[in-house]
Structure 1
Amino acid sequence: MNRTSQDDFLRHDDVLRSHLSALVVQDPTLGDVVALCDPVPLRFEPGGFRGLSRIVIGQLLSVQSAAAIWDRFRAVMGDVDAARFLDLDEVAFDGVGLSNAKYLTLRAIAKAELGQTLRYDLIETMPMFEAMKMLTAIKGIGPWTAEVYLSFCVGHPDIFPAGDLALRKIVAHHMGCDVTPSISETMKLTQKWSPYRGAAARLMWRYYAVIKNKEGILI
């Protein structure tokens, strides 16, 4: 994908609202979904080591568990940055709840940042494919983690993290699929929402939460 104007990045609520309006024009079936889910949260977060480590910590955990571990992690860290993390040994994180795999991933991220093979400033301006390549070159970071970082910590407007199970389930629900689509199938199904897939992802996450909680319905 070519470079995207920074003005289109999802870093402000008014940009998200504009993209949602354009999305409904592009796919009118989303009109009722937008009305049901209003307001759709922006969910733009600080980036860098802090933002990426929070995403890694939250992998495969409930929101509540991830938040508890993140709070304990911050209590140990103080300032959450790469240099500070490498100054501490693994014993310092006993009782935090980090798995060994996540601890090693955070070390790899911190070393890549300090070694300049991970450049957050470049990630914010380079084409999406190149940004994904830089992030996934780090051991422990897969496509889902990279996509979520680019979505919430960069605000890239055209990313739909198809590896997210909740997104795949709600896409199936919305599009009338009998079974939850695979990652590749979800990517194909949501291609029609480009170049507003970032707004579509936020809308679908919100839609999932609304449908899941409405009258006890689970999807």
Structure 2
Amino acid sequence: MTTFSSENFHTICDTLATNDKDLTSVIATYGYPPMWTRPNTFESLVHIILEQQVSLASALATLNKLRERIKTITPEGVLTLSDEELKACYFSRQKTAYVRYLADAILKGSIDLSSIANLPNDDVRSTLSQLKGVGNWTIDVYLMFVLQRVDVFPIGDLAAVNALKQLKKLPADTSREALLEIALNWQPYRTVATMLLWHFYLSRRAKK
């Protein structure tokens, strides 16, 4: 299981750029991307669940509101809150259910995040997909940010997909299969290539 770290991140970026002139241009124009990582904690997985289908700013506001309410975000702390209290922290009904289910699974021992860290990607996927509300996008982000697995392309991530289309000047209706085929050229470093895509996407938006 290959991972990226502060020791090899820029080297991987350079390797990708050597083989892809569009990624070369991202680094030349905007510099290296941030190395986005998060600790392997309940809070990190809650944060990723909150980011499903909403803006990053909205998810962070919800996470911060929860932190204000219970100080440390733990399974026990979340389960002490009523539906109304979670709603006051900006939780939707769906995400209340998902986060409660996760907290319960961790407390019962059916999910052990420290053990998951040692599993191959496919086993991480099959373990986490048993959780209510946890699908491929959530697992992809967990593999990339938390476990720092180096070769994941999150085809369900709109920002990554839109950035890829913009960078490669592809038609808006380019198929999912065609995008996955392009991403194959970045093996075995598709995670870091995705971080370059996000960096491109966010940098362009910031300039506008």
Give 1:122 shift: 2.5
> Does structure 1 retain, via aligned residues, the 8 Å contact 2:5–2:148?
yes
Give 1:25 shift: 2.5
Q: 2:128 matched to which residue of 1?
A: 135
Structure 1 length as normaliser, TM-score? 0.88
Q: Give the secondary structure class of the aligned counterpart of 2:24.
A: helix
Q: 2:149 matched to which residue of 1?
A: 156
Q: Residue 182 and residue 141 in structure 1: after superposition, are their counterparts in 2 closer, same or farther (change >3 A)?
A: farther
Q: Residue 80 and residue 182 in structure 1: after superposition, are their counterparts in 2 closer, same or farther (change >3 A)?
A: farther
For 1:44-193, what aligned pairs fall within 5 Å after superposition?
Answer: 44-193=37-186
Identity among equivalent positions (%) equals 25
The number of equivalent residue pairs is 208
Give 1:148 shift: 0.6
Deviations 1:152-182 (A, max 9, x none): 1111111121111111111111222111544
Deviations 1:77-104 (A, max 9, x none): 2211112222333233231110010010
Find the aligned partners of 2:196 and 2:58 in 1 and give their Cα distance: 24
Q: Give the secondary structure class of the aligned counterpart of 1:193.
A: coil
Do residues 22 (structure 1) and 15 (structure 2) align?
yes
Q: Residue 98 and residue 161 in structure 1: after superposition, are their counterparts in 2 closer, same or farther (change >3 A)?
A: same
Structure 2 length as normaliser, TM-score? 0.92
> Does structure 1 retain, via aligned residues, the 8 Å contact 2:164–2:197?
yes
Give ranges in structure 1 of 5+ residues lacking alignment. Answer: none
Find the aligned partners of 1:207 and 1:32 in 2 and give their Cα distance: 10
Find the aligned partners of 2:33 and 2:40 in 1 and give their Cα distance: 21
Deviations 1:190-219 (A, max 9, x none): 0110111111111100001122333x3xxx
Q: What do you get for the CA RMSD once the two structures are aligned? A: 1.7
> Which residue identity does 2:112 align to in structure 1?
R
Find the aligned partners of 2:175 and 2:132 in 1 and give their Cα distance: 24
Q: 1:40 matched to which residue of 2?
A: 33
Find the aligned partners of 1:126 and 1:184 in 2 and give their Cα distance: 27
Q: 2:195 matched to which residue of 1?
A: 202
Find the aligned partners of 2:183 and 2:154 in 1 and give their Cα distance: 10
